[in-house]
Amino acid sequence: MRYRLARITTRTVNATSRRLGRGHGTVIGGRAGLKVDPWLLQRLSAGRRVALVTGTNGKTTTTRLLTVALGAGGGDVVSNETGSNMPPGHVAALVGAGRTTQAVLEVDEIYLPRVLSATSADVVLLLNLSRDQLDRTNEVRMVAGRWRAALAAAPHTAVVANADDPLVVWGAGAAAQVHWVAAGTRWHLDAAGCPACEGRISFGGDGSWTCTAGCGFARPAPEASLQFSEDASEPHRGVWADGRVHDISLLLPGRFNHANALMAAVAAEAGGIDAALALAAMSGVENVAGRFTVCPFGPAQARLMLAKNPAGWSELLDMVAGDDGPVVVSINARIADGADPSWLWDVPFERLGERVVVATGERFRDLSVRLHYAGVAHVAHADPVDAVAAAAEGSARVIDVIANYTAFNHLLAARS
Amino acid sequence: MSGPLRIAVVYPDLLGTYGDGGNGLILARRAEWRGHEVELLQAPSDGALPGADIYCLGGGEDGPQVRAARTLHDDGMLARRVAEGAVVLAVCAGYQIVGRSYPDARGDRHEGIGLLDISTVNGSGPRAVGEVVAETVEGAPRLPTLTGFENHGGHTTLAESAVPLARVTAGVGNGDGSGTEGALAGRVLGTYLHGPVLARNPALADLLLGWALDLGDLPPLDDGAALELRQERLGGVAGQARRRFRPRRRVH
Ligand SMILES: [Zn+2]
C-alpha cells in the first residue's frame, strides 16, 4: 500500500513540477516518493536487471552508451538520462519505467554503496576516480575504500573496472567477479600513494603500474584493452585477451569516449550481449545531453564540451590540441561546480598555446590570471554568448567551447 | 646569490590537492619576467628533496599529509635549507605539518617538522570552507588586503616565536579564537589560503621573491588580471560576476 502510494506520489509531484515549468521535476518527485516509502528504490529494482555506472568522469556518456548497448539485445532499457544521479533521480526513472525489465543508472560516486545495496545491481561499471569539486568531497581515497567494502559485500554483482586507475582497482579489488579493462587514464596525480600500504605507485611507460614498496598491489591483467589510434586512417580497436579484436567507431570524439564504449561493451557482454553487436549499436550515439554537439550560436557554429575537473580538462585539452581554431573556455564556481576554482592551476592550459582563446563564465577573472601565467594570450568576456561571438569573429571555423558544469548548462540553454 | 633561483614544489604527489602547485609556477614566472634565471622543480616524495631557494608546500588529504610530514622529517633537507635562509611558503596541510604538531582524520596527534612554532588540533565545529579576507598585522610585513579560499577542519594556535600573518575580516583563518590567519617565523610563511594564494595576492609573491633574491623593491609587473580578480573577490562576488554586456577589452 505504502509502495503504491509512494509511486503515485512520485508521479504526481513530477507531473505537477513539469506543469509548473520547473524542469523535469525528477528529483523533487523522487524525493517525495522516498519520504512516503524509504524502501521505494529497493521495491522498484526488484525483478529488474540493473546496471550501475559510476566514476568521476564520463558517467553520463557511458550510461547512455550502455543503455544503447543493452538495447541491442532487444527489449527496452530504462535509464536516468536527465543526469540526476542520486536515489531520488533513480526512483523517478524507475517509477516511469512500466514493465521495462532492464535499467542502467548513473550513480554519484559517493552514493554507490547505498544504491548498490538498494538495487542489488547485476553489473557495476567503475570508470575512474580523481579529485572533483574539492570543497565538497575531497577524499577520493575514502571513496575508493567505500566502493571496496560495498562491492566485497555484493558477491553476485559483476564489476567492470578500469585496470589503469589504481584507485578504481583498489575499489574493485575485493569484489567476487571483476572484468578488468585497460581503459587508460591520463591523470595519475591522485593515485600516487599506494592505497594498500604506505608505498608509492610507480607508472611504467607501457601502461603498467605497481607499488614500489612491494606490497603486491599492481595493475591486474586486463580482459580487454583499448587500442586508440592517433592515425586517422587506422580504426580504434578493442583487443580482448582471448584474441578477439573489434573496431570501435563512434560519432563521439576523444580517447576517453572510446574507453567508455569499450567498458560498456564489456559490461554488455557480462549481461549476455555480444560485444560486436553492442559496439555497433553504440556507434550511432551522436551526443549525450548536449555534450560534443555542434550547434549554432548566432552566426557561429560551436562544439560544446563539458569538463568538470582536472582529469576531464586534461583529456579534453589533449583532444583539441591538434586543432588550431578559436577556443572559448567558460568557468563558473557555483555549488555544483565547487566554490573554489583553485583546480584551474592543475589544468594544463599551456596546451592551448598560440590559439585564439576567449575566457568567460562567472569566474573568468580567475581563469584570466591562470592563462596569464600559462603564457596564453586571450581576451575576456563576462558573458559566454558574447564570448562565442567574439571567438567567431573573422573565423569560419567551428568554435571549440569547453566549460565546467553550470557554465556548460548555461551555454546549452543559450544556443540559438 | 649565484646561479639560477631554484624553486621547489614539495611533494606534488602528496600535497597537490588544491591547485597550490600554482604558487611555484607564479613565483617562477614573476622572477623570469624580471630577468632572473629560474629553475622550477617538481619534487616528488620518492626522491631526495633537492636543495632550493624557495620551497612551496600545498594542501593535501589526511593520509598523504602524514606521509609528507614523515618523509620531510626523514629527508632532512628542508630544515637544513631553512637554517641556511631558504624561503618556505606552506599552505593548509603544508602549513600544519611545518608546525610542531598536527592531527590526522581521527584526531591523533602527529609530530610536525617544527619550522613554525604552531600546533594544530581538529576543530569541533564544521569545516571552515569559504572566502577569506584578512589584513596583515603589526609584526608581519605590510601587504595589501589578503584574499583567498579556505577549506580546513584544523584549529591552529601560535606560540611565542611565531607571529600571525594577518587578522581575518571575513572567514575563519587559524580558527583558534584569536581571529588571526597564518603564521610567520623568519622566512617561513604559513597560511590556510588557497586560490592559489599567490594568484590572488601578487604582493605576497613578491615579498617571498624579494626575500629569496635579497632584493627590497622588485620592479612592477603587469598585474592587471590579478588586480581585477582581487577587486571581484574583495568586492563580493554576487553583483559583479553576473553583470552582462561588459565592454570588451584586451586583458594583455
Ligand atoms: Zn603498496
Q: Give Cα B196 distance to the centre of its chain.
A: 8
User: A346 and B19: CB-CB below 8 Å?
Assistant: yes
> What is the nearest CA distance from B114 to chain A, expressed in angstroms?
23
Q: For the sheet containing B249-250, what is the strand order?
A: A294-297, A300-306, A399-403, A327-330, A357-360, A378-380, B249-250
The pLDDT value given to residue A17 = 65
Active-site residue flag, B92: yes
pLDDT > 50? residue A135:
no
The pLDDT value given to residue B248 = 35
Q: Are strands A49-54 and A123-126 parallel, antiparallel or unpaired?
A: parallel
**Residues in chain B within 8 Å Cβ distance of A340:** 18, 149, 151, 194-195
- ipTM metric: 0.93
d(CA A230, CA A236): 9
A186-244 pLDDT, tens digit each: 777 777 778 888 788 888 888 899 998 899 999 999 999 999 988 878 899 999 999 99
A153/B contact by beta carbon, under 8 A: no
Count the helices and strands in chain A (H runs, E runs): 14, 17
A245/B contact by beta carbon, under 8 A: no
CB B27 within 8 A of CB A345: no
Q: What is the DSSP letter of A189?
A: G
B45/A contact by beta carbon, under 8 A: yes
Q: Are strands A378-380 and B54-57 parallel, antiparallel or unpaired?
A: unpaired
**Residues in chain B within 8 Å Cβ distance of A145:** none
Helix, strand, or coil here: A101? Answer: coil
User: B17 and A135: CB-CB below 8 Å?
Assistant: no
**Residues in chain A within 8 Å Cβ distance of B67:** 193, 198
What amino acid is encoded at A96 in this protein?
Answer: G
Q: Which residues contact B124 (CB under 8 A, 6 or more apart)?
A: none
Interface of A with B in 67-126 (CB under 8 A): none
The pLDDT value given to residue A83 = 62
Q: Give Cα B184 distance to the centre of its chain.
A: 11
User: A200 and B45: CB-CB below 8 Å?
Assistant: yes
User: A139 and B61: CB-CB below 8 Å?
Assistant: yes
CB B48 within 8 A of CB B4: no
User: A370 and B29: CB-CB below 8 Å?
Assistant: no
d(CA A25, CA A89): 9
Query: In the numeric block, which cell numbers belong to residue B249?
Result: 577589452
Query: B224-234 and A364-374 helices cross at what angle (nearest 10)?
Result: 150
Separation in Å, CA B243 to CA A337, A411, B22, B200, B239? 19, 16, 28, 21, 7
| The CATH fold of domain B5-244 | Rossmann fold (3.40.50)
Helix, strand, or coil here: A143? Answer: helix
B235/A contact by beta carbon, under 8 A: no
**Residues in chain B within 8 Å Cβ distance of A386:** 245-246, 248
d(CA B245, CA B252): 20
The pLDDT value given to residue A325 = 85
The residue length of chain A stands at 416
User: B151 and A340: CB-CB below 8 Å?
Assistant: yes
A379/B contact by beta carbon, under 8 A: yes
User: Binning pLDDT at 50, 70 and 90, where does residue A365 land?
Assistant: very high
Residue A81's closest CA among A8, A15, A158, A26? A26
pLDDT > 60? residue B50:
yes
User: B12 and A344: CB-CB below 8 Å?
Assistant: no
d(CA A199, ligand 1 centre) in Å: 5
Residue A71's closest CA among A285, A237, A255, A257? A285
**Catalytic position from the list B92, B110, B155, B252:** B92
What amino acid is encoded at B190 in this protein?
Answer: G
d(CA A369, CA A346): 13
Residue with cell 564544521: B126
The pLDDT value given to residue A19 = 59
B196-229 pLDDT, tens digit each: 999 999 999 999 999 999 998 899 999 999 999 9
pLDDT > 70? residue B151:
yes
User: A193 and B13: CB-CB below 8 Å?
Assistant: yes
B44/A contact by beta carbon, under 8 A: yes
d(CA A196, ligand 1 centre) in Å: 5
Q: Are strands B249-250 and B163-170 parallel, antiparallel or unpaired?
A: unpaired
**Residues in chain A within 8 Å Cβ distance of B19:** 342-346
B153-209 pLDDT, tens digit each: 999 999 988 999 999 999 999 999 999 999 999 999 999 999 999 999 999 999 999
Q: What is the DSSP letter of A343?
A: G
Tell which of B127, B237, B245, B252 to mutate to test the A interface (max A CBs under 10 Å). B252
Count of CB pairs separated by less than 8 Å, A with B: 118
Tell which of A342, A364, A366, A404 to mutate to test the B interface (max B CBs under 10 Å). A342
Percent of chain A surpassing pLDDT 70: 94
d(CA B120, ligand 1 centre) in Å: 29
